[in-house]
Amino acid sequence: MSQLLRTKSIDSLVSDSEEEGKKLKRTLGPGSLICFGIGAVIGSGIFTLTGTAAAGQTLAVGNPLYAPVFDLLLHGGAVSTLGRPGAGPAITLSFILVAIACGFAALCYAEMASMIPISGSAYTYAYTTLGEIFAWIIGWDLILEYAVSNMSVAVGFSAYFNVMCDYLFGRHLPQWLSEPAIVDGKLTGSVFNLPALLVVMALSFILVRGVKESAGANNIMVSIKVIAVLVFVFGAAHAVQVKNLHPFMPNGFAGVMTGAAIVFFTYIGFDSVSTAAEETKNPQRDMPIGIIGTLIVSSLLYASTALVLTGIVNWKTLNNAAPVASALHAIGMDKLRFAVTVGALLGMLSSLLVYQYGQARIWFAMSRDRLLPALFSRIHPKFRTPHVSTWIAGLAVGIPAGVFDIATFADLANIGTLFAFVLVSIAVLTLRKSQPNRHRSFRVPFSPVTPLLSVACCALLMLSLPLLAWVCFVFWLVVGLVVYFLYSRKRSLLYEG
């Protein structure tokens, strides 16, 4: 038990990060961090999951695995719905509620990132506050979070790539080579979603070349993406019809909460910002700016896009992998559809880039602590990047993305992220007690109220996810604990055996 609850000192973590052969290159400033965050946040959800959250999902009649846990608790386990109710036009409210909930968590992340400028995000924060077993659990959880997040975005990229092929060449790629093989647990007739794999591997190559080069490419893609979002909002605003926005909450507050649980996945970009702490020039100042700036800009873009999207077509028609492009095509705005599709493709490229970056850094941090094999912390002699982690992460994402659909991945990413947010919020409270005099360049306002609100909001959103997501999440954690006790515990730097 002493090892399981033993923590690493912040000073030793900083010292370890400067060790020759394991030191990353510091090249990022606040502007690049905000672009990293926007690159992750805007793209994955605004162009893919907005439609699913608005229209809902009809997965299985009366199957409790697909019902939100909150509904099961209210109705004693009885299920009478067809899957999960959509938010309808009130998806705008879903985005606002999630932004508020994420705002509490973002403030907690900002304080921790400014204190502990080390790769690893919530994993590292848990290691310094709660103990090794909690660090392992959250690290194992983050591996799942980043992997399934990118799988979802890769599937969405493939769908929009097909839209682009249709616009330019008048035809899609063959279905057997460009669509998921399994959707809602059923075979589709497709063999493999090849574009989803190829785009992930191409971005892995860029990431291996260096973080500065990756950040430069990301900044360009983010700029074009934001322009595309604004073009859609202002270009399609005149086509909004009041009848499409009525009723505003067709499935009541339950639909709004279910929509919020689905689109929560889209806001986890500021978590990716925190993984870049070890490659930031002045992390004590720049990390809070990057995290909070990301959330503010992204929230404004999401809310305005959701309102226009549900105003130009009936919300029931939006349940597909490319809702923005399909909505514009439905109202005959194909020129605008082309511009938005270009922005969507670049947007999802930047999302994939940032998530792959974050995933490789989590593996790198856990390997440096000897909880994962040493090969994951190998640094490229020329580019100074964790190249082995990056390539393996690419394969771990690209292959499943070629088989499964968006909805399968999004819920797993959501529950993993929410769990991470809960632990980071608790870590803030723990460090305030254990190390009250440690310098904090950013402090969470109104503590302990703000961290406790973060925990409460995240718990409520977790209960809005389907039971299947909880079952898969618990299974993943059980597998992780088996790996820890059979392999990682005795290899840990804190092991005294």
Q: Which domains does the chain have, with CATH numbers?
A: 10-488 (1.20.1740.10)
Mean pLDDT of 441-464: 88
Q: Quick: pLDDT tens for 374-388.
A: 888 888 888 788 888
Q: 3-state DSSP call for residue 491?
A: coil
Query: pLDDT, tens digit, for every residue of 109-136?
Result: 888 888 887 777 788 888 888 888 988 9
* Lowest pLDDT segment from 135-144, 249-258, 372-381, 398-407: 398-407
Round to whole Å and give the CA distance between 340 and 157. 13
Most confident listed range (4-8, 230-234, 411-415): 230-234
Q: Which residues touch 395 (CB under 8 Å, ≥6 apart)?
A: 201
**Side chain identity, residue 264:** F
Buried b (16+ CB within 10 A) or exposed e, 76-113: eeebebebbbbbbbbbbbbbbbbbebbbbbbbbbbbbb
- Give pLDDT, residue 60: 46
pTM over 0.75: yes
At 82, the pLDDT band (50, 70, 90 cuts) reads very low
Determine phi and psi for 117, rounding to 5 degrees: -80, 60
Convert the pLDDT of each residue in 290-349 to its tens digit: 888 888 888 888 889 889 999 999 888 887 767 887 888 888 888 888 777 777 777 778
Query: Quick check: 365 and 120 in contact, CB under 8 A?
Result: yes
CA–CA distance, 81 with 296 (Å, rounded to integer): 35
Q: Residues 193-205: what's their mean pLDDT?
A: 88
- The mean pLDDT value for 3-14 works out to 76
Query: pLDDT tier at 61 (50, 70, 90 boundaries)?
Result: very low
CA distance 165 to 175: 13
Is the pLDDT confidence value at 361 over 50?
Answer: yes
Whether the CB-CB separation of 177 and 423 falls below 8 Å is answered with no
Structure tokens at 200: 């992930």
Q: Does the pLDDT value for residue 488 go beyond 70?
A: yes
In order of 92, 211, 357, the CA distances from 256 in angstroms are 9, 38, 32
Contacts of 25 (CB under 8 A, 6+ apart): 210, 211, 212, 279, 384
Residues 485, 70: Cα–Cα separation, whole Å: 33
Q: Tell me what pLDDT residue 185 has.
A: 63
Give the containing element (helix H, strand E) for 165. Answer: helix 132-169
Are 251 and 262 within 8 A, CB to CB? Answer: no
Amino acid at 76: G
User: Which pLDDT score, from 0 to 100, does residue 486 have?
Assistant: 92
Percent pLDDT > 70 in the chain is 87
H or E stretch at 59: strand 57-61
Q: What percentage of the chain exceeds 90 in pLDDT?
A: 7
Residue 393's nearest CA partner among 205, 217, 194 is 205
Rounded to whole angstroms, how far apart are CA atoms 203 and 360? 12
Q: Across the chain, what does the average pLDDT equal?
A: 81
CA distance 150 to 434: 36
pLDDT band at 481 (very low <50, low <70, confident <90, very high): very high
| 126 and 135 Cβ atoms separated by less than 8 Å | yes
- Please, what sign has the CA dihedral across residues 68, 72, 74, 80? positive
The model's confidence at residue 484, banded by pLDDT at 50, 70 and 90, is very high
pLDDT at 429: 92
Q: Which of 38-47, 331-340, 405-414 has the lowest mean pLDDT?
A: 405-414
